[in-house]
């Protein structure tokens, strides 16, 4: 079940909201837990058993770690077993097929019979809830959080449906008190509803149409793909993945606020970054900080030799790529970003500081978009061919597939809105208007205040109406991060 599906918007969500606000406070967590498990089991009920196993394992290890917290060596061994158990489940469902496929390539070359393995389906969101569960046990070991005594409350933390299948990755310490005691006020509901509507609009009105064009262009054979089309395809995909994922994060943050949870931000206009280092401070913030705190720093971080620092960066980004999917393309995508982070740290970052600011933006966007080709393509050969076409201005086609074929007036409008919306320009303009509305008693600003108070809710209503209309008239409604 996805947030942008009719069954979620018109059946599941209304029932859960009505039930949540009618039920007594002491039962709200149990109600949310049941709703979350139902939400997760909607598509494939058997996979809820994996989540319940994860909950049970991490409840047990969390309690065990806290019990032996003063015996450092024993506690460390318990944490190591917990990490192995969590990553073992993740590896089985997400990476076993990939591992066997690559082993088969090697053993076939030496004349051995390949290993046969039935395809293993990937449980939705397993990477996200596994990382949340792991951070809980590690934080208990680090004395940053106390072990949760109530298994139902821990189950709610791991399975809470707003951020269950696509994040943001929530640290236990950030919501531990909210799980125990929270109050939802009208301002929270107002903020949550607005945030959800904006996220829905991002997903349905921008990500979906951009994704449809990207899919069509990436599906073209090499002979049908021109340089212009290749650039259009990767620009559309760059907008799709940003609005798809940030839109889902907005919806998750909005839903969380309605239920009294305050999740941290997950995106901060990453496409205005002036370096790859800055990009990763703005893109998928919950994941990048997770890797920083639980992988990079334990490896030694930057408080070690230069060589080890560069090694640590590459290790983290190889793992980051592999976290996204069991494919060499994802590993190369992670290594690609890691490489540019290393060269920026070696000295290229100092060069960037001295160049004209628009060049910094162009550099970062170029590297990010090239990286997205590896992320989007199915194979390494497809990625190389696509990138080669992008940088071959003499590659043109004479068939019907050209830039003008895809750029209708509607698509052009969405492209413009998508590009502007990926910058803080609208936020800055809105903030200035709101400051005028609040701070001035001049007659012209009183008029602005009147119209702003009238138009502001109308804007959200229109976004919601157009989003629902788009869902009703289109069957194209994928969600990229479901496969992670």
What's the pLDDT score for residue 403? 82
DSSP class of residue 2?
Answer: -
pLDDT band at 405 (very low <50, low <70, confident <90, very high): confident
Cβ neighbours of residue 438 closer than 8 Å, sequence gap 6 or more: none
Residue 456 pLDDT > 90: no
Burial of 331 (0-12, 13-18, 19+ CB in 10 A): buried
pLDDT at 435: 67
Q: Is the peptide bond between 15 and the residue preceding it cis, with omega within 30 degrees of 0?
A: no
Residue 440's pLDDT band (cuts 50, 70, 90) = low
Average pLDDT in the 158-184 region? 89
Query: Above pLDDT 70, what percent of the chain?
Result: 93
Q: What percentage of the chain exceeds 90 in pLDDT?
A: 68
What is the number of helices (H) and of strands (E) in the chain? 23, 0
Q: What is the pLDDT of residue 44?
A: 76
Q: What is the mean pLDDT of residues 125-144?
A: 93
Mean pLDDT in residue range 343-361: 92
Which residues, 6 or more positions from 347, have their beta carbon under 8 angstroms from its beta carbon? none
- Please compute the mean of the pLDDT values over residues 171-200 and round it to a whole number: 92
Closest among 432, 475, 456, 427 to 250, alpha carbons compared = 427
More confident: 425 or 365: 365
Q: Looking at residue 158, what is its pLDDT?
A: 94
In this prediction, residues 314-341 reach a mean pLDDT of 94
CA distance linking residue 91 with residue 249, whole number of Å: 25
Q: Which residue has the higher pLDDT, 359 or 444?
A: 359
* Burial class for 376, CB neighbours closer than 10 Å (0-12, 13-18, 19+): buried
The per-residue pLDDT of the chain, averaged, comes to 89
Q: What sign does the dihedral 220-222-223-226 (CA atoms) show?
A: positive
Element (H, E) at 107: helix 96-109
Q: What is the mean pLDDT of residues 28-55?
A: 91
Task: Check residue 118 and give its pLDDT.
Answer: 86
Q: Which residue has the higher pLDDT, 448 or 418?
A: 418
Q: What are the φ and ψ backbone dihedral angles of 185, each rounded to 5 degrees? A: -100, 165
Burial (0-12, 13-18, 19+ Cβ within 10 Å), 22: exposed
> Which amino acids are annotated catalytic?
324
pLDDT at 221 over 90: no
Residue 482 pLDDT class (50, 70, 90 cuts): low
Give pairs for 186-194: CB < 8 Å, separation 24+. Answer: 188/257, 188/258, 188/260, 189/257, 189/258, 191/254, 191/257, 192/253, 192/254, 192/255, 192/256, 192/257, 192/258, 193/254, 193/258, 193/460, 194/254, 194/460
Distance, in Å, from the CA atom of 201 to the CA atom of 464, rounded to the nearest integer, reads: 7
pLDDT of residue 398: 61
Say which residue, 477 or 372, is predicted with more confidence: 372
Please tell me the total number of residues recorded for the chain in this structure: 484
Mean pLDDT, to the nearest integer, of 455-466? 85
């Amino acid at each position: 079940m996805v947030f942008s599906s009719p069954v979620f918007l018109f059946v599941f969500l209304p029932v859960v909201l009505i039930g949540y606000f009618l039920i007594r406070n002491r039962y709200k967590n149990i109600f949310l837990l049941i709703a979350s498990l139902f939400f997760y089991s909607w598509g494939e009920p058997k996979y809820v058993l994996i989540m319940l196993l994860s909950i049970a394992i991490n409840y047990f290890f969390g309690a065990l770690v806290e019990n032996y917290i003063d015996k450092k060596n024993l506690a460390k061994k318990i944490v190591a077993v917990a990490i192995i158990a969590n990553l073992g489940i993740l590896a089985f469902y997400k990476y076993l097929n990939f591992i066997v496929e690559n082993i088969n390539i090697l053993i076939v070359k030496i004349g051995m019979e390949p290993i046969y393995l039935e395809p293993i389906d990937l449980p939705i969101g397993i990477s996200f809830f596994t990382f949340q569960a792991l951070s809980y046990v590690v934080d208990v070991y680090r004395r940053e959080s106390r072990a949760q005594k109530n298994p139902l409350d821990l189950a709610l933390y791991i399975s809470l449906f707003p951020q269950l299948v696509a994040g943001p990755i929530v640290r236990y310490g950030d919501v531990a008190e909210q799980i125990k005691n929270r109050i939802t006020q009208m301002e929270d509901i107002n903020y949550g509803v607005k945030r959800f509507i904006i996220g829905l609009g991002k997903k349905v009105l921008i990500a979906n149409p951009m994704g449809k064009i990207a899919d069509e262009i990436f599906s073209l054979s090499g002979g049908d793909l021109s340089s212009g089309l290749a650039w259009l395809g990767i620009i559309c995909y760059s907008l799709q993945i940003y609005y798809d994922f940030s839109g889902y994060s907005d919806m998750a943050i909005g839903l969380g606020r309605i239920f009294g949870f305050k999740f941290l931000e997950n995106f901060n206009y990453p496409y205005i970054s002036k370096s790859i280092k800055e990009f990763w401070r703005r893109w998928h913030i919950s994941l990048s900080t997770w890797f920083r705190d639980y992988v990079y720093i334990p490896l030694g971080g930057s408080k070690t030799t230069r060589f080890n620092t560069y090694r640590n960066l590459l290790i983290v980004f190889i793992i980051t790529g592999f976290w996204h999917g069991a494919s060499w393309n994802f590993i190369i995508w992670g290594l690609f970003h890691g490489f540019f982070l290393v060269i920026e740290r070696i000295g290229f970052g100092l060069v960037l500081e001295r160049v004209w600011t628009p060049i910094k933006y162009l550099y970062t966007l170029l590297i990010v978009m090239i990286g997205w080709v590896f992320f989007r393509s199915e194979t390494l050969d497809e990625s190389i061919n696509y990138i080669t076409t992008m940088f071959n201005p003499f590659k043109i086609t004479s068939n019907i597939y050209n830039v003008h074929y895809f750029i209708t007036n509607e698509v052009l409008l969405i492209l413009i809105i998508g590009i502007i919306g990926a910058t803080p320009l609208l936020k800055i303009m809105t903030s200035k208007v709101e400051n005028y509305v609040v701070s001035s008693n001049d007659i012209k600003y009183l008029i602005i205040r009147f119209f702003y108070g009238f138009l502001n809710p109308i804007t959200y209503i229109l976004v919601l109406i157009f989003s629902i209309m788009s869902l009703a008239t289109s069957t194209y409604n994928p969600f990229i991060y479901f496969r992670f």
